[in-house]
Amino acid sequence: MSEKMLSAGKGALFLTALSAISQVLGFFYRVALSRMVGAEVMGLYQLVMPVYSVLLSLTAVGLTAAVSNLTPQYLAFHNPAGVRQTVSTCLRAFFLLLLPIGLVVILGYDPISVYILGDARTRLGVVLLVPCVLLTGVENLHKHCFYGIGRVRPPAAVETAANLLVPCVAVHTVCEDEKAVIEKLAPFVAEAEKKKITLLLESTGAMANTKKLVEVLDYFACDHLAACWNAHSTCLMQREAPEQTITNLGAYVRHVRLTDGGELGDPELVGEGALPLRELIRDRCFDPEHPPKLVRAALGNDAGVVGAAMLCKTL
């Protein structure tokens, strides 16, 4: 994967910026929530949150610290199996801790609400805390694994995209080994599924060969992993016909990145390079019975101002 290990200083700065963004977004979300549900519901929410914090402290907090401390040690000895074993062991320990504690909360939700929190209206909220802690704990264990080994960008990108309500995050790789790509991509896909974000594996670099790309996508067969078709890489660099790309990827294509270039890949204005734009648009992007008519725009020096080198008019 095209992942660079961040230095301690850069990693700390990156996480600080991410935390600041998350806190700002959370502030606006809380303001919007308070206006939507009113002061009464917000008061109940504030009553329930301490219980949530206690449950996380009893089940996940210590395990996340263990993951953060142990994974870099295994990585330093070039032992990725140890990293995976650490995460899986902590996950099992988390489930074993949450099971009895969650049962106590579910069975004793009434006395917890009435006698501890002092408001019977919090009963449903107390019960719902258990699945919330389950999801948060699993997410935090994977996240702290990334943080421990210094790869903070993928989980940070997914989390920031979720906070900003961004539906997709594009990733790419230069690795030609499909098994290695699958191994590296697996935790990212798991994180994207939890956050309801779609990862777009771009058809560039090693994945410009869309036969390799589709093998990776077929392995996961997941709604949260799709393809970003980089037409420049597949058509000009890989010399793959658009028809072949569509045949290979099919419904996996969720996004098309359209950039033009010369025969050697030098960037050009769209329509000025070697990209088979007519075939791309006429054969795949429009109804074959009503193809578009492409007309070269006589814009001269104004082409850069208006940001176009071709006009597309449907018949």
**Closest of 186, 226, 179 to residue 206, by C-alpha:** 179
pLDDT at 314: 34
**Which residues, 6+ apart, have CB-to-CB distance to 214 below 8 Å?**
227, 248, 249, 252
pTM for the whole thing? 0.51
DSSP 253-292: EEEEE--EE-TT--EE-TTTSS--HHHHIIIIIS-TTS-E
Find residue 200's DSSP bridge partners.
170, 226
Asked if 174 and 201 touch (Cβ cutoff 8 Å), the reply is no
pLDDT at 237: 80
pLDDT at 169: 83
pLDDT at 19: 66
CA separation for the pair 310, 278 (Å, rounded)? 11
pLDDT at 234: 84
User: 270: burial class by Cβ within 10 Å (0-12, 13-18, 19+)?
Assistant: middle
Asked if 86 and 70 touch (Cβ cutoff 8 Å), the reply is yes
In the chain, what is the greatest distance between 2 CA atoms, to the nearest angstrom? 78
CA separation for the pair 260, 308 (Å, rounded)? 12
Domain boundaries, the chain: 8-159, 167-257
Asked if 43 and 182 touch (Cβ cutoff 8 Å), the reply is no
**Which residues, 6+ apart, have CB-to-CB distance to 15 below 8 Å?**
147, 152, 156
pLDDT (tens digit, 0 to 9) for every residue of the chain, 315 residues total? 444 444 545 655 665 666 677 677 777 777 787 788 788 888 888 888 889 999 998 998 888 888 888 887 776 677 778 888 888 899 999 999 999 999 999 999 899 888 888 888 888 889 999 999 998 888 888 877 777 766 656 666 676 776 667 788 888 887 878 888 888 787 778 778 877 888 889 988 888 888 889 889 998 888 889 999 888 888 878 888 888 888 888 888 888 887 777 766 677 777 777 777 766 665 555 455 555 455 554 545 444 434 433 333 333
pLDDT at 315: 30
